[in-house]
């Protein structure tokens, strides 16, 4: 390096691509050398930029160090463990233990799949399968419909269809009104369903026209009749408030009454249930969430709901209803654009199969967390708090409230227990827990760190205890 008049030094230069590649090739399990060459160029370009930014004061990395970086990057592309060890982005989102108490945490991918769904999806992905081939004739057949057959059995519908997510299901269903049709919606149900997507926009995207009735807080069945009676509308859309709640001076039209009016005028009734429970939530101390079967029995022609909320499986849009309408949806060109792949179909089928086998509460994580007896959660919290040193260490087991989350059962909570830590900085402690190979997402209340154990798998208690023990080391303890 040489000094310049400004006091800077001439930056060092990184080694050549070929020199670094010579060290990489003997250790890389790659069959496309050009891919490694491109990766080496990327790493060396970043090294060159780093050295230039240091204006000659940055220490150049050795060819061996650069080769190790290239190998680590190549491994991280396909190996989650290697990515975590190297601190690089891997092929799956960083895994985390959910100690927030929010069961269906949207930012964490909702809830884990049941083991049966994981195994089914993995098996479907690993091999060829008769996805659209008739085994008897050897010719193209109907697409694999195990999930749809389960939906028919569970909902009492005439037919069913599985698509990519519930937004896609709703878009398809609203399309039944036709490009020149009109859809009647209560003003109290013109909601945003997530991701900035709003019901009026969905209706417009489907090519239909929106007709609003009622008021924001009160809509009666009679409000739907005028646009149906004079032929201005040919469909009614009901949107279940699964991600918000109205209280006070409110009134919601009864679905059975609305359906009777709609059918009297030859109109369809589409019901967006959102979370779509297949078990009675009231059994677990929550407000009763209407089921697809109940909505169909009340007169809905088509019901749509999510596969990854209260159903507890992979992300999917589940559509049940009249056979003629479902077959019309199946033929819609948009249905092909939003259909799930074979792995998702297998995972959804396995999840729904657990309901039919009577094993949903025990084996679907969403329901296992909802159904966990509070006494068991309390016992875990008290054991963990004692192991962490108890009140003398600024730790206590405490009652708290968990939520279902994910746009399901708004305002409803479940009694829970967890551990509460008094630390020097709750923000810093939470940030520390969020990083590392065993990440934990906690919450902060009143300046203290809170880990709600209802959403922590008991198998992860030891990991949580270990991370919290490190957090309570003398350097993290609050000053007296």
Encode pLDDT of 105-121 as tens digits. Answer: 999 998 899 999 999 99
12-52 pLDDT per residue, tens: 888 999 999 998 987 777 778 889 899 999 999 999 999 88
> At residue 87, does pLDDT exceed 90?
no
Query: What pLDDT sits at residue 1?
Result: 47
> At residue 226, does pLDDT exceed 60?
yes
User: What whole-number distance in Å separates Cα of residue 311 and Cα of residue 169?
Assistant: 15
Which is nearest to 161 in space by CA: 270, 305, 320?
320
133: DSSP letter = B
What is the average pLDDT score of the chain?
Answer: 92
φ, ψ (nearest 5 deg) of residue 392: -65, -25
User: What whole-number distance in Å separates Cα of residue 161 and Cα of residue 158?
Assistant: 11
Query: What pLDDT sits at residue 112?
Result: 93
The residue to which tokens 């878009």 are assigned: 171
281-315 pLDDT per residue, tens: 999 999 999 999 999 999 999 999 999 999 999 99
Give residues with Cβ within 8 angstroms of 353, minimum separation 6: 116, 146, 150
User: What whole-number distance in Å separates Cα of residue 167 and Cα of residue 243?
Assistant: 14
- Return the axis-axis angle of helices 63-76 and 33-53, rounded to nearest 10°: 120
Share of the chain above pLDDT 90, in %: 76
What is the residue extent of each domain of the chain?
A: 17-86, 115-363, 368-476
448-461 burial string, b = 16+ CB within 10 Å, else e? bbbbbbbbbeeeeb
Query: What pLDDT sits at residue 357?
Result: 98
Secondary structure (H, E, C), 35-72: HHHHHHHHHHHHHHHHHHHCCCCCCCCCHHHHHHHHHH
> At residue 154, does pLDDT exceed 60?
yes
Which is nearest to 186 in space by CA: 231, 222, 150?
222
Helix (H) / strand (E) element for 212: namely strand 209-213
Query: What pLDDT sits at residue 475?
Result: 54
Helix (H) / strand (E) element for 255: namely helix 255-264
Q: Are strands 448-452 and 408-421 parallel, antiparallel or unpaired?
A: antiparallel
Which of these CATH numbers, 1.20.120.80, 3.30.360.10, 3.90.1150.180, 3.10.290.10, describes 368-476? 3.90.1150.180
Assess contact for 237 and 368: CB atoms under 8 A: no
Mean pLDDT of the region 194-211 = 89
Query: What pLDDT sits at residue 89?
Result: 87
Share of the chain above pLDDT 70, in %: 95
Identify the three-state secondary structure at position 110: strand
Looking at 22-31, 213-222, 263-272, which range is the least confident one?
A: 22-31
DSSP 264-303: HTT-EEEEEEET--SS-GGGGTSPPPPPHHHHHHTT-SEE
DSSP 379-431: HHHHHHHHHTTGGGGTEEEEEEEEEEETTEEEEEEEEEEEEEE--S-HHHHHH
362-396 pLDDT per residue, tens: 999 999 999 999 999 999 999 999 999 999 999 99
CB-count burial class (<10 Å; 0-12, 13-18, 19+) for 309: buried
User: What whole-number distance in Å separates Cα of residue 279 and Cα of residue 68?
Assistant: 52
> At residue 478, does pLDDT exceed 70?
no
Strand-pair partners of 9: 3
Which is nearest to 66 in space by CA: 53, 51, 84, 55?
51
Looking at 160-164, 265-269, 272-276, 408-412, which range is the least confident one?
A: 408-412
Helix (H) / strand (E) element for 324: namely helix 323-331
Mean pLDDT of the region 83-97 = 87
Mean pLDDT of the region 131-138 = 92
> At residue 477, does pLDDT exceed 70?
no
Identify the CATH class of 115-363: alpha beta
> At residue 186, does pLDDT exceed 90?
yes
Question: How far from the centroid of its chain's Cα atoms is residue 79's Cα?
Answer: 22
Residue 325 half-sphere exposure toward CB, CA atoms < 13 A: 25
Query: What pLDDT sits at residue 8?
Result: 58
Mean pLDDT of the region 219-247 = 90
User: What whole-number distance in Å separates Cα of residue 166 and Cα of residue 87?
Assistant: 35
User: What whole-number distance in Å separates Cα of residue 421 and Cα of residue 398?
Assistant: 10
Identify the three-state secondary structure at position 15: coil
């Amino acid at each position: 390096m040489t000094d310049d008049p400004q006091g800077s030094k001439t930056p060092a230069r990184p080694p050549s691509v070929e020199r670094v590649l010579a060290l990489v090739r003997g250790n890389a399990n790659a069959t496309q050398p050009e891919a490694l060459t491109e990766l080496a160029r990327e790493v060396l370009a970043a090294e060159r930029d780093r050295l230039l930014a240091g204006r000659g004061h940055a220490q150049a990395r050795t060819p061996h160090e650069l080769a190790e970086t290239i190998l680590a990057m190549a491994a991280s592309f396909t190996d989650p463990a290697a990515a975590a060890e190297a601190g690089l982005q891997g092929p799956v989102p960083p895994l985390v233990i959910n100690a927030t108490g929010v069961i269906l945490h949207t930012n964490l991918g909702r809830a884990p799949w049941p083991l049966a769904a994981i195994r089914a999806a993995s098996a479907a992905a690993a091999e060829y399968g008769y996805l659209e081939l008739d085994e008897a004739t050897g010719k193209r057949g109907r697409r694999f419909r195990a999930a749809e057959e389960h939906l028919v059995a569970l909902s009492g519908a005439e037919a069913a269809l599985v698509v990519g997510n519930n937004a896609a299901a709703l878009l398809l269903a609203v399309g039944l009104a036709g490009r020149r049709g009109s859809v009647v919606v209560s003003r109290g149900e013109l909601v945003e369903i997530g991701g900035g997507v709003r019901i009026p926009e969905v209706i417009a995207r489907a090519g239909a026209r929106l007709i609003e009735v009622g008021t924001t807080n009160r809509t009666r069945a009679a409000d739907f009749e005028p646009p149906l009676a004079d032929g201005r509308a040919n469909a009614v859309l009901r949107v279940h408030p699964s991600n918000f709640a109205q209280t006070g001076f409110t009134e919601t039209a009864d679905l059975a009454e609305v359906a009777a009016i709609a059918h009297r005028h030859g109109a369809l009734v589409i019901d967006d249930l959102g979370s779509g429970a297949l078990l009675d939530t009231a059994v677990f101390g929550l407000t009763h969430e209407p089921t697809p079967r109940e909505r169909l029995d009340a007169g809905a022609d088509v019901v749509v709901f999510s596969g990854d909320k209260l159903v507890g499986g992979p992300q999917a849009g589940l559509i049940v209803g009249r056979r003629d309408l479902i077959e019309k949806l199946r033929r819609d060109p948009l249905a092909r654009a939003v259909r799930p792949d074979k792995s998702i179909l297998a995972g959804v089928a396995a999840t729904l199969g657990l309901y039919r086998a009577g094993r949903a509460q025990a084996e679907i994580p969403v329901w296992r967390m909802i159904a966990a007896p509070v006494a068991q959660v309390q016992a875990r919290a008290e054991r963990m708090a004692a192991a962490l040193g108890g009140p003398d260490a600024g730790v206590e087991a405490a009652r708290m409230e968990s939520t279902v989350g994910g746009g399901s059962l708004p305002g409803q909570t479940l009694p829970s227990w967890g551990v509460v830590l008094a630390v020097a900085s709750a923000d810093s402690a939470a940030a520390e827990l969020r990083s590392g190979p065993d990440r934990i997402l906690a919450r902060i209340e009143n300046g203290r760190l809170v880990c709600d154990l209802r959403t922590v798998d008991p198998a992860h208690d030891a990991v949580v205890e270990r991370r919290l023990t490190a957090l309570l080391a003398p350097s993290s303890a609050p000053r007296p």
